[in-house]
Amino acid sequence: MSITRLTELKIVLETILLSSSEPLTLEQMRGVFDEDLGVDMLRRALDELRDEWQHRGLELATLADGWRFQTRQSFQRYLQRINPEKPPKYSRAVMETLAIIAYKQPVTRGDIEEIRGVTVNTQIIKTLEQRNWIKAVGHREVPGRPALYVTTAQLLSDLNLRALDELPPLAELGSLVAPNPYTAQLDLTGEE
Amino acid sequence: MSITRLTELKIVLETILLSSSEPLTLEQMRGVFDEDLGVDMLRRALDELRDEWQHRGLELATLADGWRFQTRQSFQRYLQRINPEKPPKYSRAVMETLAIIAYKQPVTRGDIEEIRGVTVNTQIIKTLEQRNWIKAVGHREVPGRPALYVTTAQLLSDLNLRALDELPPLAELGSLVAPNPYTAQLDLTGEE
Amino acid sequence: MTGQTLASPDVLALINGQPLTELPHDLYIPPEALAVYLGAFEGPLDLLLYLIRRHSLDVLDIPMARLTAQYMEYVALMRKQQLELAAEYLLMAALLIEIKSRMLLPRPVQADDAGEGSDPRAELVRRLLEYEQMKLAAENLDELPRVGRDYLAVSVWSAEVEKLLPQISADDLREAWLGLLARAGTRRHHTVGRQELSVREAMGQILNALQGDLFMEFTTLFEPELGVSHLVVKFLAMLELAREHRVEITQNQDFAPIYVRLA
């Protein structure tokens, strides 16, 4: 491909990526061109495009559901001055419910209640569904047929991740407690 | 102004303009910077920015109510080939304005600004009026006689509701908003 | 080993082999803070974890008597404050008491394979650890850079996209209110902050401290560990009291200690 062609290709890619309200997949981007572009060519153009934006306020990010331009975190302070309203901050109840679904999926409401020790407010599930971070994907075949929840690609994209395994690793259960050499002997003496 | 400063200025301007969902006024752009930029300096930077985008797919356009990046006409054919899976979303500012009008009607622009704590962009009211979701129904008899806005039957039908009282109740929302993170710290000091 | 140590009359219990001679003193919560304070817990497991972490107890070796007693104290406080006491807290209380009573029963010397006769605390420990793991995971998740909060997705205006009108639902309006509420909530809490540092209250504290003692040294009336804002408020209160002639402030010579007493 000639240099001019590659430059043109990048201009079109930049334009469609900057104006799309959703991340674009490689397939979607290929479909835009009259001729059939190889995936390799497309990737090369995207890589170059990413490099060209290296020192600017936006970055070309690769996400679970495609590519998109997004602002760099270091520019957030400027953006906040344009739009001083803060997005909602989710309560611990909402975030814990989300964490359980993310790490233990698929789970039912009962599973979440078992882990958190409290009833799960319907509003919490609704809030997460509304944000399109979780969705029901069927039922567990037990009495009551409770819905099974999983997280969505949207959640990953919103957290700037490509796959579930990029979630922060769980703390090892063992590391949550210091090993206690006396446990065996101490069953009752500690008590009475 | 040194070349570096001007370059930095342009990077910030480019970033806020590309990421803003509504056109930005010169005043809004000036308010973003720590130091007080002269209007001349700002205009010069915007002019240079416009020139830099001359041969690309977006153009920096001057509209009645401000500046914005938009795609060039000649690139529309590429955009048409992308079938977005989801329609675009309204900005938070648009949604919050609509929510305030829906729940607190009739309200003036001043009322909305009071609740949101920021100026209401004319474009937002226009967007909602064009959608035929809100309309002005008279004036409040105070100095300036500001217009009073209410929601329309069209909004209810688009939301699939029969009456305004079918809007989600507000009372139960309180519990989902995270408690102020400082509250916990304050109370814990009583502990130490 | 256990018999020896317990022989001392002052020893209340053994914690990890160390004799415990005093009950912890830090269970006290200012009553006015209780409602907010308990509101900060996500439920009985969260409260239990707090108690365990607060007292550096080993989760794998929970002293059931102490933990149950402390937990019940909280539950009693909740009832006294007429807080909406969720059933989960009472259920947990019942569970703790059940475990404690089972621990009092003689147990088989050797636990069998089926787990019968194993430590009755085991299930509680498992749940506590699992909850703590998820609680930490939630915190980490919340810290990940999030679109809309830490950065924005970019989509510039185009005539093509403009033709597609955004669709909204009633829930979107609800979500918009949530954002408004979150901000209103921040403002509301600022008011609480002001009350916390009322000059009036500080004046009362100074007058209280001066009861009984004829003179007190000026500096002893301040608590620098509470931070600058407390110092400022205390100082304002002191000036106010002097202005109202309710205290008398004296200093014999330059750089000598300043004394305060009721006027």
Query: DSSP of B96-160, one letter per residue?
Result: HHHHHHHHH-SB-HHHHHHHHSSPPPHHHHHHHHHTTSEEEEEE-SSTT-PEEEEE-HHHHHHTT
Domain contains B73: yes
Domain contains A13: yes
Residues of B in contact with A79 (CB under 8 A): 15-16, 19
Q: Three-state SS string across C133-194, please?
A: HHHHHHHHHHHCCCECCCECECCCECHHHHHCCCCCCHHHHHHHHHHHHHHHHHHHHHHHHH
Nearest CA in chain C to B85: C164
Total domains present in chain A:
2
Task: Supply the pLDDT for residue B147.
Answer: 92
The amino acid at C144: L
Task: Supply the pLDDT for residue B100.
Answer: 92
Distance, CA of B7 to CA of B191 (rounded, Å): 52
Task: Supply the pLDDT for residue C207.
Answer: 85
Residues of A in contact with B20 (CB under 8 A): 82-83
Nearest CA in chain B to C27: B191
Q: Which of B28, B56, B82 is the last residue before a domain boundary?
A: B82
Residue B183 touches partner C, C-beta closer than 8 Å: yes
Do A63 and A99 belong together in one domain? Answer: no
- B16, B56, B84 ranked by CB distance to A21: nearest: B84
Task: Supply the pLDDT for residue C36.
Answer: 56
Residues of B in contact with C28 (CB under 8 A): 190-191
Q: Which of A88, A68, A181 minimizes the C-alpha distance to A131?
A: A88
pLDDT averaged per 10 residues, chain B (length 192): 81 94 89 87 94 94 87 88 72 89 91 85 88 91 90 89 82 45 31 30
Q: Which residue has the higher pLDDT, C147 or C117?
A: C147
Do B101 and B60 belong together in one domain? Answer: no
Average pLDDT over residues A111-120: 93
Do A133 and A76 belong together in one domain? Answer: no
Distance, CA of C17 to CA of A142 (rounded, Å): 46
What is the DSSP annotation of C42-78?
A: -SHHHHHHHHHHHTT--GGG--HHHHHHHHHHHHHHH
Q: Three-state SS string across A44-113, please?
A: HHHHHHHHHCCCCCEEEEEECCEEEEEECHHHHHHHHHHCCCCCCCECHHHHHHHHHHHHHCCECHHHHH
pLDDT 10s digits, C158-191 = 776 666 677 888 888 887 887 777 666 554 433 3
Residues of B in contact with A11 (CB under 8 A): 55-57
pLDDT 10s digits, C11-27 = 444 445 555 444 444 44
Q: Which of A24, A49, A82 is the last residue before a domain boundary?
A: A82
Residue B78 touches partner A, C-beta closer than 8 Å: yes
Do A68 and A121 belong together in one domain? Answer: no
Highest mean pLDDT among A31-35, A104-108, B92-96, C116-120: A104-108
Q: Is the ipTM of this complex over 0.90?
A: no
Q: Quick one: how far is CA B142 from the chain centroid? A: 27
Q: Which of C231, C230, C183, C238 minimizes the C-alpha distance to C209?
A: C238
Q: Which pTM value belongs to this model?
A: 0.68
Q: Band of the pLDDT at C113, cuts 50, 70, 90?
A: low
Nearest CA in chain A to C15: A190
Task: Supply the pLDDT for residue A186.
Answer: 30
Contact yes or no for B184 and C189 at CB 8 A? no
Residue A127 touches partner B, C-beta closer than 8 Å: yes
Give the contacts of C66 (CB within 8 A, at least 6 positions apart): C13, C55, C57
Domain contains B65: yes
What is the DSSP annotation of B34-66?
A: SS---HHHHHHHHHHHHHHTTTSSEEEEEETTE
Place of tokens 């009645």: B64
**Contacting A residues, span 17-76, partner chain C, CB-CB under 8 Å:** 18-21, 58, 68-73, 75-76
Q: Band of the pLDDT at A178, cuts 50, 70, 90?
A: very low
Phi and psi torsions of C151, nearest 5°: -160, 170
Check whether C2 has a pLDDT greater than 50.
no
Residue B178 has what DSSP assignment?
Answer: P
Task: Supply the pLDDT for residue B177.
Answer: 43
Share of chain C above pLDDT 70, in %: 70
Q: Are strands B58-63 and C18-20 parallel, antiparallel or unpaired?
A: unpaired
Do A97 and A166 belong together in one domain? Answer: yes
Residues of C in contact with B57 (CB under 8 A): none
Q: Band of the pLDDT at C55, cuts 50, 70, 90?
A: confident
Nearest CA in chain B to C153: B19
Residue A123 touches partner C, C-beta closer than 8 Å: no
The amino acid at C126: R
Domain contains A190: no
Residues of B in contact with A33 (CB under 8 A): 78
Interface partners of chain A (CB pairs < 8 Å, 3 or more) are B, C
Q: Band of the pLDDT at A4, cuts 50, 70, 90?
A: confident
Neighbours of B140 (CB within 10 A): 15
Residue B148 sits in a domain whose CATH number is 1.10.10.10
Contact yes or no for B92 and C161 at CB 8 A? no
Residue A34 touches partner B, C-beta closer than 8 Å: no
Are the CB atoms for A24 and B79 separated by under 8 Å?
A: no
Do B77 and B14 belong together in one domain? Answer: yes
Q: Which of A53, A82, A111 is the last residue before a domain boundary?
A: A82
Check whether C255 has a pLDDT greater than 80.
no
- C86, C144, C155 ranked by CB distance to A118: nearest: C86
Question: Cα–Cα–Cα angle for A127, C192, C181, nearest 5°?
Answer: 25
Do B72 and B101 belong together in one domain? Answer: no
Least confident range of A127-131, B119-123, C86-90, C223-227: C223-227
Task: Supply the pLDDT for residue B180.
Answer: 35
Q: Band of the pLDDT at A127, cuts 50, 70, 90?
A: confident
Task: Supply the pLDDT for residue C188.
Answer: 42
Residue B87 touches partner C, C-beta closer than 8 Å: yes
Residues of C in contact with B166 (CB under 8 A): 170
Residues of B in contact with C156 (CB under 8 A): 18, 58, 68-71
Contact yes or no for C193 and B186 at CB 8 A? yes
Average pLDDT over residues C126-133: 90
Share of chain A above pLDDT 70, in %: 88
Domain contains B87: no
For residue C85, give how far its alpha carbon lies from the nearest alpha carbon of chain B (Å): 16
Q: Which residue has the higher pLDDT, A112 or C159?
A: A112
Exposure on the CB side of residue A79, measured as CA atoms within 13 A: 29
Are the CB atoms for C154 and A18 separated by under 8 Å?
A: yes
- C92, C137, C149 ranked by CB distance to A170: nearest: C137
- A21, A117, A186 ranked by CB distance to C17: nearest: A186
Residues of C in contact with A99 (CB under 8 A): 134-135, 137-138, 141
Check whether A52 has a pLDDT greater than 80.
yes
Check whether A155 has a pLDDT greater than 50.
yes
Do A77 and A131 belong together in one domain? Answer: no
Do A118 and A170 belong together in one domain? Answer: yes
Domain contains A17: yes
Residues in a beta bridge with B66: B63
Task: Supply the pLDDT for residue A128.
Answer: 93
Do A23 and A51 belong together in one domain? Answer: yes
Determine the 3-state secondary structure of C19 from DSSP: strand
Q: Three-state SS string across A127-158, please?
A: HHHHCCCEEEEEECCCCCCCEEEEECHHHHHH
Domain contains A181: no
Domain contains A87: no
Contact yes or no for C168 and B90 at CB 8 A? yes
Structure tokens at C215: 């003179």
Structure tokens at B135: 């309309």
Average pLDDT over residues C57-82: 81
Check whether A124 has a pLDDT greater than 80.
yes
Please give the residue range of the domain that contains residue B29. 3-82
pLDDT 10s digits, A53-93 = 999 999 999 998 899 999 999 999 999 888 776 777 888 99
